[in-house]
Structure 1
Amino acid sequence: MSISPLLIPILGISCGLLAILGGVFIKPWIALQQRKLELEAQMVAEKAAQYAAQTERLEQRVRVLERIVTDKGIDLSDEIEKLRDAPPLN
């Protein structure tokens, strides 16, 4: 099997063109995909923080309701009125 003398320069030029095209097209595309993933991760983290805050507020409300229901020494209507007059926790 003989290798054509013309094949070596053609392969060299092809490798160079492939490297240039990879740098021009593939590298920015990979950077774009990475940026998309970073933004999506940030949005998911923000959503998780919102859910955590909402869960904390609901847990506080449940604790108050449990205290009202289980505390037999306090008149229920007085406790409800105190809670209505109290400023909201935010």
Structure 2
Amino acid sequence: MGFFELIGGPGIVMIAISGTIGWVVTTWLKVRHGYPLEGSFGQALKPVINNEHVERIRLLTTENAQMAAELSAMKERLATLERIATDSGSRLAHEIDRLKH
């Protein structure tokens, strides 16, 4: 007895329907989360990349680098403030005196 004879006509229909539903859900999830859609031969279908998108990505990359640098500076300042707040008064006075000279 073969596979198709074992599952019968309704089983084949259910497999086809579940495969189609799976394809639709996968495509919907890709679109919803911004993943590119590809054609049969791997060519990009959506989103279409044009000069406007390339320029926007470049600007966002630059802004991201600037914000990362600013965040790094803020972390250093916060570490200094935490050290000042948790150190004893005499040590802080000693460091201030050392900076004056």
Structure 1 length-normalised TM: 0.48
Q: Which has the higher contact order (CA 8 A, sep 6+)?
A: 1
Q: Which of the two has higher C-alpha Rg?
A: 1
Structure 2 length-normalised TM: 0.43
Higher strand share: 2
